Structure 1
Amino acid sequence: MEFTTARGEQRYAALVRAAAETVVGLDFDGTLSPIVDDPAQAHIHPDAGRVLTDLAAQVRAVAVITGRPARQALDLGGLEEVGNAIGETGKDLYLFGQYGNERWSSTHRRVIGPRPPAGLATFERELPRALRRVGAGDAWIEDKGLAVAVHTRRLPDAEAAFDRLLPALRELAAAHDLHVEPGKAVIEVRSPGVHKGQAVRTLAEELDAGGFLFAGDDLGDLEAFDAVRELGEAGLSTLLVCSSSEEESALIDLADVVVKGPDGVLELLEQLADDAASIRA
């Protein structure tokens, strides 16, 4: 791991001391699973289940906070099985899907979520014409139920297509009172007012957290970073972790620790579990 400042190293040491009261929040894509061309193949890192189970024994709770639909994350992550293993430690695994619109836990094993936002169906009907207008008619449209994601990764010159598409989708989304969330070669359109920062605050409040670690990799994690920073200002021990890649660097300057992708995230979490166990021994 690479601490961005001496203060980051100090924050890690404080978090280790507060581990028993700490909630660990983790993004899915790019953090627990690699970024791949086909999101349906973004399976969780093979070591994640073991590492998360070991970590859960040392912290208050582990939570996955993702833009993916909860059921999709459960399947790709094998999270129901991970939840079973974490349950044996006496702890819970929490999952917030679609930026916090959906909730699941290893204790209450039912996905709870709202109806699709007003305007989304009309937006989706008008979307193909908007894509053609900016020369991105072959972009892949993913219907998430509560959101629509437009992927440019498979297009020729995906970055240029993304840049053309973003203002067009912002205009169309605004006409239907919807929110636009840019990511890595993907633009997601969903209802306004719900984001990962709210999920962080909910977990901190409901679990009476004394510390909070959040690891993410792209723009969709900015609100979570902001929420964790606010918790730190309120007196909690906090640590912000950037899972870096060649595609995205937006979080590097905001993070306390920078690691290389899912491998680096899991190495850090494994180290945290070991250091916390040593203090408690």
Structure 2
Amino acid sequence: MPLPKPGSEAGAAALDRIVRRPADAVLSFDFDGTLAAIVPDPSDARSYPGVTAELSRLAPLVGRLVVITGRPAAVAVEYGGFADIANILVLGHYGLERWEDGHVTAPDPPAGVGLVREELPELLRRSGAHDGTRIEDKGRSLAVHTRNAADPDAALEALRIPLAALAQRAGLTVEPGRRVIELRPAGMDKGSALAGVVADAGADPAVLYTGDDLGDIAAFETVERLRGRGVPGVTVCSGSDEVEGLSDRADLVVDGPQGVAELLAALRAAIAGRD
């Protein structure tokens, strides 16, 4: 399969640079909806077929592989099958956690997370949350999913204001997503996490970031800022019919996690055949 061509000149130039100089490249990815399909129960998510194998093949060819996710880092490693991949960094909780070489480092969670954990069930009861609404406790944050409600979008909309009020009282920030609202610590997002990785990568990197949801906009913005400073960068959207806006900002849109798996294979083949 040929390597797809980004729609922008900047994106096309960055992808060409990655192929020509892979040892300088930082390839970064969201997990859910990008490397793994969205599923009704988040605990059932696993890497899309072929993704882990292609990442393993790419790892020795490129400067750095990075997964940046809202999940706990160790969970993403387990669900993604990343533990045996050399040269991969997994940043969990939007960058607050760092998994590398089998070890996780992270600060203590703020007290507000405990407040949300205590009050969230009663808040959902008082708010008349739709049947099928569920809480996901991520340890350092909590998320409310409405994907399994009869009307997921209406269920989510009914909870936006009360969840925002709870987050404000707890000193947390609200992270909207695909039929989910997460209450998490402030001060870090996927854009900041990506910027830190690029800063550590050396003097002359090229960057690819692939995501699928509203939380990935911050990483897209980081790529755009880096391009303004002369760093080659390309943004890729793992497309779906659930989120609008991200695809309009992407240099390249692929067909969900299957398209991401195909992109990884095509990129690996292009790098291997560059000579």
Which position in structure 2 is the counterpart of 1:122?
Answer: 115
2:182 alignment partner AA: E
Corresponding residue for residue 127 of structure 2? 134
In the TM superposition, structure 1's runs of 4+ consecutive aligned residues that sit over 4 Å from their partners are none
Deviations 1:2-42 (A, max 9, x none): 73445543442233233220100011000000000011111
Pairing 1:146–2:140 present? yes
| Higher alpha-carbon deviation: 109-118 or 26-35 | 109-118
Question: Could you tell me which residue of structure 2 aligns to residue 170 of structure 1?
Answer: 164
Contact kept in structure 1, 2:110 and 2:185, CA below 8 Å:
yes
Partner of residue 58, structure 1:
61
3-state SS of 1:3 partner: coil
The correspondence of residues 63-82 of structure 1 with structure 2, limited to 5 A, is 63-81=66-84
1:22 is the counterpart of 2:15: no
> Could you tell me whether the CA contact under 8 Å between 1:128 and 1:137 is conserved in 2?
no
Give the secondary structure class of the aligned counterpart of 2:83: helix
Q: CA deviation at 1:53?
A: 1.7
1:52 corresponds to which letter in structure 2? L
Partners of 1:7 and 1:191 in 2: CA distance: 34
- Checking the alignment, whether the CA contact within 8 Å between 2:51 and 2:264 is kept in structure 1 is no
One-letter identity of the residue aligned with 1:115:
D
Q: Which consecutive unaligned segments of at least 5 residues does structure 2 have?
A: none
- Measured in 2, the distance between the counterparts of 1:2 and 1:212 equals 16
**Separation in structure 2 between the aligned mates of residue 2 and residue 22 of structure 1, nearest angstrom:** 18
Alignment of 1:227-238 (within 5 A): 227-238=222-233
CA deviation string 1:194-230 (max 9, x = no partner): 1111210111111215101000000111111111111
Measured in 1, the distance between the counterparts of 2:52 and 2:152 equals 33
Listed one character per residue, the Cα deviations across residues 18-73 of structure 1 (whole Å, up to 9, x for unaligned) are: 32201000110000000000111111112112211222232101111110111111
- State the SS of the aligned residue for 1:30: coil
- For 1:16 and 1:233, the matched residues in 2 are separated by 21
Residue matched to 2:215: 220
What is the identity, as a one-letter code, of the residue corresponding to 1:12?
Answer: L
Q: Distance in 1 between matches of 2:65 and 2:115?
A: 37
Please list the CA deviations of residues 215-250 of structure 1 after superposition, one character each: whole Å capped at 9, or x if unmatched: 000011111111111111111111100001121223
- What value does the CA root-mean-square deviation take over the aligned residues? 1.6
* 2:195 counterpart of 1:201: yes
- The number of residue pairs the alignment matches comes to 270
Aligned to 1:259: 254
User: Relative to 1, partners in 2 of residues 1:19 and 1:166: Cα closer, same or farther, differing over 3 Å?
Assistant: same
User: Which residue identity does 1:75 align to in structure 2?
Assistant: E
Distance in 2 between residues matched to 1:40 and 1:165, nearest whole Å: 22
- Identify the residue that residue 15 of structure 2 maps to in structure 1: 12
1:110 matched residue in structure 2: 103
Output the CA distance in 1 between the equivalents of 2:81 and 2:247.
29
- 2:142 touches 2:183 (CA, 8 Å); kept in 1? yes
Paired AA for residue 107 in structure 2: P
